[in-house]
Amino acid sequence: MTAGIDESSTVPRLPPELERQIFEQAALSCFQRIPTLMLSAWRVKLWLEPILYRVVIDPDLVDDEEAHVEYPYMPDHTLLQKLSIFPSSNVGLFVRHLLWDLGAQNVDDLLVALSFCVHVVDLFILGGPYLVLLPAINRLQNVSHLAIHVQSLYASGGSIDFASPLFNRLTHLELLGCDSNDFLDALVGLGAVPNLTHISFNVVLDAAAVHEQIRRHTNLQCIVFFEVGQAQHLPLSADDRFVAVRQTRYITDWLRGATTGEDYWWLVERFIEAKRAGKVERSQYMIADDDVSFV
């Protein structure tokens, strides 16, 4: 070696931004590879660890084999195990999208998860209702997307408090387990939710009656129903914010949204844009969650 030349200075070095992009692409192409890649260097661990823990779901809910590979996630039982063994770790801080099945895990486990996963932005809770959930969700500072049994939103006084901290942050709300006879009057209060732009009703109900209650809320940009009777379309199709979505693979749709941003909300927005641009008939209001013909 020539004297005076530092060999390490002649080794080509990639710009950090490009190096990070390469590692992230490698991680996303094979999720199982992430723990090994994280051993490469401390900076690589910092880049990839958030990807490893970003999306949490019960793997038994994912019935699409391709989704297991295409949309990386951490199993909910793995999250609980890590939180119990390493309670002082940062694992919970990396979680952004959390889908919890109360039919498979108990509500106390969910409360533990929520106490650690304080930066969750997208929370989907299957099952309920559980009144103990509202205080826990109110403590979260970043939830903008929420899917939950409507009765879990009721405060101890027997009504929905739309002035609670949770509703100050919500932009997207999906209501499960709704009974139109029970909560129609409560829907009037949605007009007081400052940032709510998207609402969906994941249950069979009288869509026309619900729409009558919320159609005056001009802040709502998308009004979605998942089950709508054919006879109900006439009073609704004139409102281009209204869309009825036929579900195909619901969990896969949520996973796709958590990893790419392209879920049914995204699809409904594209449909409304196409309708307003004249690319879709004004009378059309029903789509499937795997229909991208108008995008």
CATH number at residue 176: 3.80.10
Domain end point (choices 53, 69, 85) = 53
Name the residue range of residue 249's domain: 57-288
Nearest to 56 by CA among 255, 272, 264: 255
Instruction: Flag the least confident range among 128-132, 142-146, 216-220.
Output: 128-132
pLDDT greater at residue 236 or residue 172: 172
- Asked whether residue 276 falls in the same domain as residue 137, the answer is yes
Strand order in the sheet with 286-288: 74-75, 55-57, 97-101, 122-126, 145-149, 172-176, 198-204, 222-227, 242-246, 286-288
pLDDT greater at residue 180 or residue 103: 103
- Number of structural domains found in the chain: 2
- Asked whether residue 86 falls in the same domain as residue 37, the answer is no
Look at residue 8 and tell me if it is in a domain: no
Q: Which residue type sits at 9?
A: S
In the structure, what pLDDT confidence band is assigned to residue 231 with cuts at 50, 70 and 90? very low
Look at residue 7 and tell me if it is in a domain: no
| Residue-wise pLDDT tens digits, 248-287 | 889 999 999 998 899 999 999 999 999 999 999 888 888 9
If you average pLDDT over every residue of the chain, what do you get? Answer: 84
| Residue-wise pLDDT tens digits, 66-105 | 887 788 888 999 999 988 888 777 888 889 999 999 988 8
The whole-model pTM stands at 0.85
Look at residue 1 and tell me if it is in a domain: no
- Asked whether residue 105 falls in the same domain as residue 25, the answer is no
- Position 147 scores a pLDDT of 96
Q: Which residue type sits at 222?
A: C
- Asked whether residue 43 falls in the same domain as residue 85, the answer is no
Q: Do residues 286 and 294 touch, judged by C-beta distance below 8 A?
A: no
The CA distance from 220 to 217, in Å, is 6
The CA distance from 206 to 255, in Å, is 29
